[in-house]
């Protein structure tokens, strides 16, 4: 059984995400690429790096490299962001809500729902905001490849969307 098949990848990814952008930790200054935002996390299992560009609209890539290996074993590319122009206060509010909603989503994965088909969260403390994350495996031929779509709705209208594509390398 490989490190991916026994769930170690998912456990490590959850831990890494909680200890980087999501947890407001692991920021690398200066980033390797000019103009990028870069977050990193490392433990005995492996190394995680997230590099992205942009603020309101973003594009980025995450990689996981297991300890002792000379190249990444997993990658996830993502892009998207706000679908309309918003003021700074609303952008901050939505980004904080996104951190909260993603944390709840990751907690549900760590409780045994390793690849949920659908995750939805409505913010009790942020009226008008709701979070939806849809995941699906693309096909049997692409074992270990997932496509995900993350949406945030504000007072009934789509305000933020991110598309993810992950793959074992």
Domain boundaries, the chain: 8-168
CA 6 to chain centre: 21
Q: What is the pLDDT of residues 20-39, one digit of tens each?
A: 999 899 999 999 999 999 99
Question: Which three-class secondary structure state does DSSP give residue 112?
Answer: coil
Q: What is the pLDDT of residues 93-139, one digit of tens each?
A: 999 999 988 888 888 766 554 444 445 555 556 778 888 888 776 55
Read off φ and ψ for residue 62, nearest 5 degrees: -115, 145
- Say which residue the tokens 């933020």 belong to: 160
> What is the DSSP secondary structure assignment for residue 22, as one 8-state letter?
G
Please report the pLDDT score of residue 169 as a whole number: 85
Kindly provide the residue ranges of all beta strands, DSSP E only, lying in the chain, ordered along the sequence.
Answer: 37-42, 46-54, 57-66, 74-82, 118-122, 129-137, 146-154, 157-168
> Which of 46-50, 53-57, 145-149 has the lowest average pLDDT?
145-149
**By the 8 A CB rule, do 131 and 120 touch?**
yes
Question: Which three-class secondary structure state does DSSP give residue 77?
Answer: strand
Closest CA to 73 of 82, 64, 81: 64
136 vs 78, more confident = 78
* E strand or H helix that includes residue 89: helix 88-110
| CA atoms within a 13 Å half-sphere pointing along the CA-CB vector of 91 | 11
**By the 8 A CB rule, do 129 and 94 touch?**
yes
Closest CA to 161 of 105, 106, 81, 102: 81
**By the 8 A CB rule, do 10 and 109 touch?**
yes
Prediction pTM value: 0.85
């Amino acid at each position: 059984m490989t490190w991916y098949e026994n769930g170690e990848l998912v456990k490590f990814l959850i831990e890494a995400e909680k200890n980087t952008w999501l947890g407001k930790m692991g920021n690398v200054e200066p980033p390797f690429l000019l103009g990028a935002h870069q977050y990193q996390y490392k433990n005995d299992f492996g190394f995680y790096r997230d590099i992205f560009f942009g603020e309101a609209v973003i594009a980025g890539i995450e990689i996981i490299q297991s300890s002792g290996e000379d190249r990444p074993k997993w990658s996830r590319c993502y892009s998207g962001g706000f679908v309309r122009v918003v003021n700074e206060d609303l952008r901050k509010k939505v980004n904080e809500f996104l951190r909260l909603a993603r944390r709840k989503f990751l907690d549900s994965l760590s409780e045994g729902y390793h690849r949920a088909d659908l995750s939805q969260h409505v913010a009790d403390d942020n009226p008008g905001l709701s979070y939806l994350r849809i995941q699906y495996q693309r096909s049997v031929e692409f074992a270990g490849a997932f496509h995900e779509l993350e949406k945030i709705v504000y007072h009934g209208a789509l305000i933020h969307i991110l598309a993810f594509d992950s793959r074992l390398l």
